[in-house]
Amino acid sequence: MSTAFAPGKCILFGEHAVVYGHPAVAVAIDAGVEVKLEFSEQWEIRNSYHTNKYVEFKAEKNPHIQHIISEIFEYNGSPLRINIQSNLFSAAGLGSSAALSNAMGAALHQLTKPNEEINLIKLAKIGHSAEASAQAGRASPTDSATSSLGGCIVVSGEKIESLNHVYDTKLLTPEGERSWSIHSVELHKNINDAWLVLGFTGEAAPTGDMVSGVANRLKENPALHDEMQAIENITKAGLTALELGNLEAVGMAMNSCHEKLKILGVSNESLDNMVTATREYSFGSKLTGAGGGGCMVALTENPERVAQEIELCGGKPLISRFGSRGAKIRKE
């Protein structure tokens, strides 16, 4: 038996723009996905998102897992019993599918290669491959890299000399080959004084659908590419504020990023209501992830008060530290 955990993520700046090579800043959060694998007589799966009992594993219903099993590991051993436990909101912009992919990749690695330590960069690439397979090739490595490596991660279309460069990756998308550079950021000690409070609208928003929607709107209205550049400028300003530990400036960048994402058409009434309600008690707040529902995030020193506002808006809050640890094997 093997057990692995991978955290979810929260994007602070740059969602959607990162798909087109612009930088994005993301941090790992406390909540995540645990995968436990055991040998079995038949292929079985228990997914806490959907059921409390084991059912027959079906590849078409679990594309991320199937891709890792058959395409990445080319596993042809005994059937597996797959137990998935998650405390992330599903299809909510918190990187639940990437966390699942990373946890599954780490658990299968531990099961098949028990004496070989897992390489977190390799694991991030496994997760990205699974994400791309499920999202028609348009996935950025933001979710998978942040979930695997943990901490604060910057993903960009080119290397950023001022940051700690971790690795590069490429992907063939419907629009052509895209390249990304992944960097890590050492957070200022002031950041430890703040909390992230996620607010789930209760409305699922599959990332693939939202990414495709933005791609279609860019084709119909090429002027929207200017908003992508504006998001990049905001992202760079927010990154500088993070490195300096200026929480007020980080919040301003978050607020500005939300307004640009609204122009791209990925926010909705539920998200806007929670963003507005929480700003009084936060340095800044915005939607996070794909949008269209899902989650918003607030940066605050008063997490309980922000959580109350989210609940008053009909949402579900989740409080997290800023930049949690990455994927890991859990010892039995």
263-266: which pairs have CB atoms within 8 A and are 24 or more residues apart?
A: 263/224, 263/227, 264/16, 264/214, 264/217, 264/224, 264/227, 265/213, 265/214, 265/217, 266/15, 266/16, 266/210, 266/213, 266/214, 266/290, 266/291, 266/292
Q: How far apart are CA 46 and CA 52, in angstroms?
A: 7
Average pLDDT over residues 135-153: 87
Confidence of residue 112 (pLDDT cuts 50, 70, 90): very high
Has residue 145 got a pLDDT over 90?
yes
Supply the DSSP string of 203-227, one letter for each residue.
----HHHHHHHHHHHHHH-GGGHHH
Determine the average pLDDT of the residues in 238-256: 95
Our measurement of the distance from residue 75's CA atom to the centroid of its chain's CA atoms, rounded to an integer in Å, reads 26
Residues paired with 195 in a beta bridge? 300
Model confidence at 140: pLDDT above 90: no
Strand order in the sheet with 295-300: 284-288, 295-300, 195-200, 316-320
Poorest-pLDDT segment among 34-48, 192-206, 248-262, 308-322: 192-206
Which pLDDT does position 210 carry in this prediction?
86
Q: Residue 18: is its pLDDT beyond 90?
A: no
Query: With contact defined as beta carbons under 8 Å apart, do 127 and 298 qualify?
Result: no
Give the pLDDT score at 211: 83
Q: Give residue 173's pLDDT band: very low, low, confident or very high (50, 70, 90).
A: low
Question: Confidence class of residue 139 from pLDDT cuts 50, 70 and 90?
Answer: confident
Distance CA 35, CA 46 (A): 10
pLDDT band for 193, please (50, 70, 90 cuts). Answer: confident
pLDDT at 208: 73
- pLDDT recorded at residue 284: 97
Q: What is the mean pLDDT of the segment spanning 77-92? A: 92
Sign (positive or negative) of CA dihedral 127, 131, 133, 139: negative
pLDDT at 320: 96
Q: Is the pLDDT of residue 331 over 80?
A: no
Bridge partners of residue 121, in order along the sequence: none
Which among 216, 329, 199, 196 has a CA at the least distance from the CA of 272? 199
Mean pLDDT along residues 123-138? 84
Mean pLDDT of the residues in the chain: 92
Rounded to 5 degrees, φ, ψ at 36 are: -120, 130
Mean predicted confidence (pLDDT) in 248-264: 96
274 touches 201 (CB < 8 A): yes
Kindly tell me if the per-residue pLDDT of 3 is higher than 90.
Answer: yes
Stretch among 10-24, 31-45, 283-297 having the lowest mean pLDDT: 10-24
Which long-range contacts (C-beta less than 8 Å, at least 24 apart) are formed by 54-57? 54/81, 54/83, 57/82
Q: Is a pLDDT exceeding 90 seen at residue 55?
A: yes
Mean pLDDT across 47-74: 91
d(CA 100, CA 64): 8
The full DSSP string for 171-199 is EEETTEEEEEEEEEE---GGGGG-EEEEE
**Mean pLDDT within 183-202:** 92
> Which pLDDT band holds residue 171 (cuts at 50, 70, 90)?
confident
Q: What is the pLDDT of residue 137?
A: 66
Q: Which domains does the chain have, with CATH numbers?
A: 2-329 (3.30.230.120)
Span 265-308, pLDDT tens digits: 999 999 999 999 999 999 999 999 889 999 999 999 999 999 99
For the chain, what percent of residues have pLDDT higher than 90?
74
pTM of the model: 0.90
The predicted structure's pLDDT at residue 298: 98
